[in-house]
Chain A
Amino acid sequence: MSTSNSQSAVFLKAYEDYSDAIFRYCFVRLQQRDVALDLMQEAFMKTWEYVGQGNTIQNLRAFLYRVANNLVIDYVRKRKESSLDKLMEQGFDAPFEIRDAVYSAIDAKYVIKTLEQLDEKYQIPILLRYVDDLPIKEIAEIIGESENVVSVRIHRGIQQIKKIIPA
Chain B
Amino acid sequence: MERLQSHFQQLKGLTLTDRERDERKKAILEHMLAHPREYPRLRILHAHRMLFASAGAIILFIAGALFVGEHAIPGDLAYIVKVEVTEHVIDAVTMTDEGRMDWEITKAERRQQEAEQLAAQGGI
Contacts and interface: CB of A to CB of B under 8 A. Distances in A.
Interface of A: 3-4, 7-8, 11-12, 15, 19-20, 23-24, 27-28, 37, 40-41, 44-45, 48-49, 51-56, 96-100, 104, 107-108, 110-112, 114, 126-127, 130-131, 158, 161-162, 165, 167
A98 B35 contact: no
Interface of B is mostly: helix
B11 A111 contact: yes
B11 A97 contact: no
Given A19-B21, A51-B37, A55-B46, A96 B14 contact: yes
Given A41-B28, A131-B9, A167-B3, 16 more contacts: A12-B29, A24-B11, A24-B14, A24-B15, A28-B11, A37-B16, A37-B20, A37-B24, A45-B31, A96-B13, A107-B7, A112-B11, A130-B4, A131-B8, A131-B11, A161-B4
Contacts of B36: 4, 52
Nearest to B24: A41
Interface of B: 1, 3-5, 7-17, 20-21, 24-25, 27-29, 31-32, 35-40, 42-44, 46-47
A28 to B, nearest CB: 7
A7 B40 CA distance: 11
5 contacts: A44-B28, A48-B35, A52-B38, A54-B43, A108-B10
Contacts, number: 110
Contacts of A40: 24
Contacts of A7: 37
Contacts of B3: 165, 167
Nearest to B44: A3
A131 B46 contact: no
A97 B38 contact: no
A99 B46 contact: no
Given A19-B21, A20-B16, A130-B5, A53 B38 contact: yes
